Amino acid sequence: MWNSVLHSFPIQLLKLHLKKNIALVGIWVLLVLIFSGNFGKVLGIPYLFLDPEYLNRVSWLGFFLMGIGFAVFTMAFHMTTYIMDAAKFQFLAVLSRPFIRFCINNSIIPFAAYLIYFLSFILFQLDNELDDQWEIVKFVLGFMGGNVLTFLLLFSYFALTNKDFFVMFTDTLDKRLRKTKVSRANVIKRYKDRKRAERKVDTYLDIDFKLKPVREDLARFEGNKLLKVFDQNHLNLFIIETVLVGVILFLGFFRDYEFLQFPAAMSVMLIFSILTLLVGALTFWLRSWSTFIAIALFVIFNMASSTPIMNRPHSALGLDYDGDPAEYNLARLRTLLHPDTVSKDKSKTVEILNNWRAKFLEDKKPKMMVITSSGGGQRAALWTLHVLQQIHQKTGERFMEHTRLFTGASGGVVGAAFFRELYLRSLHDDSIDLTDHKYLEQISSDNLNPIIFTLMINDLLIRNQHVTYNGRKYLEDRGFAFENQLNINTQGILDKPLSAYAAPELNADIPMLPVTPLIVNDGRKLFIAPHSMSYMGISTEQLTGEEEKSQSIDFLRFFNEQDAGSLRFISALRMGATFPFITPNIQLPSEPQMELMDSGLSDNFGINDALRFLYVFEDWIAENTSGVVLVTIRDSEKNLEIEKKTPPTIMQKLFTPLKNIYINWDNVQTLNNETLFNFMKERSPYELDRVEFEYSAKDFVERQKNMDLGEDEENKELEIQRASLNWRLTAREKSDILNCINSYQNQQSLKRLAEIFNRQ
């Protein structure tokens, strides 16, 4: 019995894959690590699979599409391994429906992955505390429905087209086969290889799932005819591979239709399918040359990718890319920071501040409020908007009248910009309730599905579609998909040029809100605002003649000839929220080409920019205000417990240096900001207070202990996974973020702000 199992076809295929097809097995291992939460949890990757969202809701339809994606990838795995390895097992050629039988015996790895996925997503959904537990049953049935339907369609095709040895080599069909030009590359070589190979399979799993013995009389069949059976099967597989890739490319032309924006995880499965099918296609046509040709094609493609045809920029909508590019060199930067220019920009901002001061009683100096919001993808956008709504409510709807500046990074700026626009509209529309929960739903609606779908069918495969904005044509990419979906989610209220905010800011109707992405070329910041802010990039010492490297570039002046004022404001927000690999780095029309990255790399909390602004205008602030309140909205905890260290493994030793850099980046910025704030507080000629809000998992844990679990030793180790750093949040994550405002620290901060405004 043991020998029968050991030499069975499923086990032999498993051994072959572990020995020869480790890359294909590696994809399954990666998927299992994702399902089980052991890979990408901080970025929320597992939730894309365990809680797929389609048409802005998690339903059986999303799981139905996931079932299709899993089936397509599974079949891609079967087809590719059949093309590469089926000829090693000649007994298949004399069986009816050889490919279907191969799939049954080749299912150990897929079956294990499916089992882990089912367990993972059921446990995840149970933990989500759904109101109706039958929803989980619907999810399971939806997944199985999509999975089974796809398998039935594909297997029906194979059952009708793939023929076994006895069908192919009757007299009539044999003559027809001789007239048909089917690719038989290296048939003689493969036949000799098969003759040299020892027979290792004694039994195989049949369609009825019973082990059956392999025929003992294979020697009487002509080897070249056996290989022709596999060739015929391979050709059919190649045809369906081509059709599948063609369908995916075809869908790309209609990706703007919402119902075609598949769940992000399904798009990931389709990307894996294309890569797997590509391996099979290369193997089918090139055989032993496939590895060399693949490497050669990669080298050629890599070299060609630097050409203008293939290396087309990821554009910022609204800018002029057709005219002469802006000169980007040190001489030009020095020219833009001429003392007269900086003085002019400061005077303009003082005019804005004077307009703001004029809105208050002359004999009573107002408090000035500056708000910073940290980056952190969609969780930061939702948390920032929610905190601003709560501040608006607790301060009697007065805090925006006192706020002069928003700073920050990534998602935090997106949330702040959304609230600022709503406030601007509310000045002329009394029907707008800034605390309405629907705005939280809008800012937290899924923004990832169209990005990943566009990455699959456009950026990775073919990038030839254009979008017209303000009379100019730009290439569509996943960055535009992000902008478009954000525009849809927020019902179009942010879709305006940068210059549209010039008058409201000048009249002090709304606070200033510069977007400050990092310039990859030289590490400077790019200040994107409707009014020039050159004073943010140079100190007063530089203006007296001392040499200093400028810290930022003013976008409006630098790209004046490229129509900077027409920049789409949502494009500006995307520049400051460039999530690695998800939204591409934007290239701007300069020579050399300026490339931008996420604001969070330089100042994730916006503290540096806020304090710089206060420093530049400290004399005006001291004379015209009763002090400044700096409100910081963090999407992370400032004071974390020291992590316990355990003896590291070899792999941990290899990756610990990189991990430490990533983890401590937040801590390093926080410590630098603390030093800078304390210095400013001690030397400022006006009163400088700080009120902090934190999205903290620690507070949630404490609440859970006090409410439900008591204070026993076991529960002291209770932890909760923070909302992921992503552009898509689960229902549970949204709830955790919103509930965090009820923590003791955040409630005390709201109380402090209420007291400050009661004295105004």
Mean pLDDT throughout 334-350?
A: 92
pLDDT for 132-156, tens place per residue? Answer: 678 899 999 999 999 999 999 888 8
Half-sphere exposure for 444 (CA within 13 Å, toward CB): 26
pTM of the model: 0.85
pLDDT tier, 167 (very low <50, low <70, confident <90, very high otherwise): very low
At 63, which helix (H) or strand (E)?
helix 60-85
pLDDT of residue 662: 59
Q: Residue 224: pLDDT above 70? A: no
Q: Is the pLDDT of residue 74 over 60?
A: yes
Please determine, for residue 202, whether its predicted confidence score (pLDDT) is greater than 50.
Answer: yes
Task: Map 612-646 to HEC letters.
Answer: HHHHHCHHHHHHHCCCEEEEEEECCCCCCCCCCCC
Residue 729: helix, strand or coil by DSSP?
A: coil
**Inter-residue contact 355 to 515 (CB < 8 Å):** no
Radius of gyration of the chain measured on its C-alpha atoms: 31
Residue 191 pLDDT: 46
pLDDT at 188: 46
Stretch 446-457: mean pLDDT: 81
Which of the two residues, 701 and 86, has the higher pLDDT score?
A: 86
- Distance between CA atoms of 521 and 588, rounded to whole angstroms? 12
Consecutive H or E run containing 371: strand 368-373
3-state secondary structure at position 591: strand
Token couple for 2 = 């043991």
Residue 11 has pLDDT above 60, yes or no: yes
Q: What is the pLDDT of residues 666-679, one digit of tens each?
A: 888 888 999 999 99
The yes-or-no verdict on residue 576 having pLDDT over 80 is yes
Q: What does the alpha-carbon distance between residue 91 and residue 104 come to, in Å, rounded to a whole number?
A: 15
Mean pLDDT, rounded, of the chain: 83
What's the pLDDT at 273? 87
Least confident of 193-202, 604-613, 678-687: 193-202
Q: What is the mean pLDDT of residues 11-28?
A: 90
pLDDT of 606 strictly over 90? yes
Mean per-residue pLDDT, 82-109: 84
Closest Cα to residue 323, out of 569, 553, 563?
563
Around Cβ 423, how many Cβ atoms within 10 Å?
Answer: 22
* Residue 225 CB neighbours (<10 A): 15
> What per-residue confidence (pLDDT) applies to 536?
93
Question: Residue 185 above 60 pLDDT?
Answer: no
Burial class (CB in 10 A: 0-12, 13-18, 19+), 116: middle
Q: What is the mean pLDDT of residues 26-32?
A: 93
User: 395 pLDDT exceeds 90?
Assistant: yes
Considering only 64-78, 232-246, 392-406, 518-532, which range has the smallest mean pLDDT?
A: 232-246
Residue 163 pLDDT grade (very low, low, confident, very high; cuts 50, 70, 90): low
Residues of the chain with pLDDT > 70, as a percent, come to 80
pLDDT for 684: 92
Q: What is the pLDDT of residue 32?
A: 94
Geometric angle at alpha carbon 481, from 480 and 484, rounded to 5°: 85
End-to-end Cα distance, the chain = 87
pLDDT at 207: 87
User: What is the pLDDT, as a whole number, of residue 169?
Assistant: 40
pLDDT tens sequence across 728-749 = 888 889 999 999 999 999 999 9
Q: Which two tokens stand for residue 456?
A: 């699959």
Q: Which uninterrupted H or E stretch holds 292?
A: helix 290-304
Q: What integer pLDDT is reported at residue 373 of this predicted model? A: 97
| Predicted local confidence at residue 714, as pLDDT | 41
Which tens digits make up the pLDDT trace of 680-712? 999 999 999 999 999 986 555 455 445 444 444
pLDDT of residue 130: 61
Q: In this predicted structure, which of 26-30, 94-98, 632-636 has the lowest mean pLDDT? A: 94-98
pLDDT computed for residue 602 by the predictor: 84
Confidence of residue 586 (pLDDT cuts 50, 70, 90): very high
- Distances 163 to 155, 217, 221, 346, 610 between C-alpha atoms, Å: 13, 20, 16, 81, 73
The mean-pLDDT minimum among 223-232, 611-620, 692-701 falls in 223-232
Instruction: Give the whole-angstrom CA distance, residue 572 versus residue 498.
Output: 8
Query: What is the rounded distance in angstroms from the CA atom of residue 391 to the CA atom of residue 376?
Result: 20
Question: At residue 186, does pLDDT exceed 50?
Answer: no
Lowest mean pLDDT segment, chosen from 49-63, 65-79, 176-190, 408-422: 176-190
Cβ 444 vs Cβ 734: under 8 Å? yes
Query: Any idea of the CA torsion for 568, 574, 576, 577, to the nearest 10 degrees?
Result: 170
- Of 83-87, 574-578, 718-722, the poorest mean pLDDT is in 718-722
State the average pLDDT over residues 566-585: 90
